[in-house]
Structure 1
Amino acid sequence: MLALIRHGQTDWNFAGRLQGRTDIPLNAVGRAQARAAASAYAGGYWEAVVSSPLGRARETAEILADALDLPFTGTYDELLEQEYGEAEGITGAELATRWPDRVIPGKEADADVAARGRRAMHRIAAEHDGQHVLVVAHGAFLRHTLSSVSGHDARHYPRFDNLSSSVVQFANGAWHVRTIGDVPYLEAAVAIERRAAEAERAA
């Protein structure tokens, strides 16, 4: 079982700027979010913590590990956020103006993000021998990874709050999504499908 957790807030999050691979640190709010979230994972079920190498994810993971007295067992390059190329550092409004078709120079393909997300889950599971692991990563990365498991279009996934978690389980030879952004899977799937239908009607 893996809990895929979005890192705590950064100043760029607060300003609505795309971060991608830009290594923006947590701010004070983000550190407080991580400390407050730790209680949700107490009780002995979770056994280790890992993260993306980017500082905002690693620091979130280290705060969780310290608060829960769990081992922080390292970083995985496969958990890096999606590369946004020339769009990193700009706001969503600027993005819509400059690249309305979202064909952004230097942007990592969505399918490539999803593929390495699945590789990350398999590698973490293999290297932790059946343990239940907290995995701290990034919003776009989580959206594409989870969509590749659930079969829903990532465009209709919800925006993940800082420190929200989505639980996946490996069973019967495949990964299964159990929660999406702290919402039970079936409930979240209905909302995703509703957004997809609304988008189709509006097209």
Structure 2
Amino acid sequence: MTTTTTFALIRHGQTDWNAAERIQGATDIPLNDIGRGQAADAVAPLSAYGWDFIVSSPLSRAAETADLIGHRLGLDEARRIPGLTERNYGPAEGLSAGAELEALRFPGGFHGAETEQDVAARGIDALRDLAREHPGARIIVVAHGTLIRLSLAHALDQHIGSITNASLNLVHHHHAQADDTTAWQLDLLNGEPLTRV
């Protein structure tokens, strides 16, 4: 028997640092008014599905986005999951493009930052834990662009581009109990259906 758990992976709404193209990472920057509007706009595409509950990163920009969405969809208060926190970029946080940021860069990352592999593993573990605890559920997960992108890339073993603020990314986690295997299927990326080959 195979159990399918469905996730709506939503990146939080815009912050002032997003607008200024500054690296946020684990720095707790709140939503701005545009971000609150984006969270409200995310409700319509989500309302086409039936959702059981909502969870989020504990960072305020994700938590507020989840609370705004959850309230409008009539869901209980979002549970905060530390594993969904954005990648820690270390000394690169707060910087925008320029010499200071470039001095920290090396192929595949930044000096003092959490590795892409660690971020992906943390994100996938959080999703697998949810699927194990709530098999067959339909769960909205509000997190962060890099965490969502790296987690999807790892799960699907393919390149995933940037994740836009408050867009719907619909993914299914299939768990076959007979041989304890899992498979992931991505149906929507940034609100757009994927074409199957």
* TM, length-normalised to structure 2: 0.86
Q: Name structure 1 gaps, 5 residues minimum.
A: 191-203
Corresponding position of 2:3: none
CA distance in 1, matches of 2:92, 2:44: 36
Q: Post-superposition shift, 1:100?
A: 4.3
Write the deviation string for residues 68-94 of structure 1: whole angstroms up to 9, x where unpaired: 101234011110100100000011345
Is 2:31 aligned against 1:22?
no
Q: CA RMSD in A?
A: 1.9
CA 1:72/1:44 → structure 2, altered by over 3 Å: closer, same or farther?
farther
Distance change >3 Å, CA 89–CA 178, structure 1 → 2 = same
Q: How many angstroms apart in 2 are the aligned matches of 1:38 and 1:82? A: 26
Indicate the SS of the match to 2:69. Answer: helix
Following the alignment from structure 1 to structure 2, what is the Cα–Cα distance between the partners of residues 104 and 58? 26
Conservation of the 8 A alpha-carbon contact between 1:5 and 1:135: yes
Query: Which protein has greater RCO, CA pairs closer than 8 Å, 6+ apart?
Result: 2
Aligned to 1:33: 38
Shift of 1:117: 1.1
**C-alpha contact (below 8 Å) 1:160/1:181 kept by paired residues:** yes
1:128 CA displacement = 3.0
How many angstroms does 1:146 deviate by? Answer: 0.3
**Alignment map for 1:25-174 (pairs within 5 Å):** 25-43=30-48, 45-94=50-99, 97-102=102-107, 103-153=109-159, 157-171=160-174, 172=176, 173-174=182-183
Instruction: Decide whether aligned partners of structure 1 residues 81 and 40 sit closer, same or farther in structure 2, where only a CA change above 3 A counts.
Output: same
- What fraction of aligned residue pairs are identical, expressed as a percent? 39
Look up the match of 1:200: none
- State the partner residue of 1:195: none
Amino acid at match of 2:141: V
Check the 8 A contact 2:45/2:168 in 1, yes or no: no
Which structure shows the bigger proportion of residues in helix conformation?
1
Structure 1 residue ranges, 4+ long, deviating more than 4 angstroms after superposition: none
Count of equivalent residues: 185
8 Å CA contact 1:168–1:177 kept in 2: the answer is yes
Question: How far does the alpha carbon of each residue in 1:85-134 deviate from its partner, in whole angstroms, 9 at most, with x for none?
Answer: 00000113456532342552320010011111110111122333422011
1:185 counterpart (164, 175, 194): 194
1:193 alignment counterpart: none
Residues 28-77 of structure 1, C-alpha deviation per residue, up to 9 Å, x if partnerless? 11111111211211145112111000000000000000011012340111
Where 1:72 maps in the other structure, the secondary structure is coil
1:73–1:60 distance in 2 versus 1, CA, 3 Å: closer
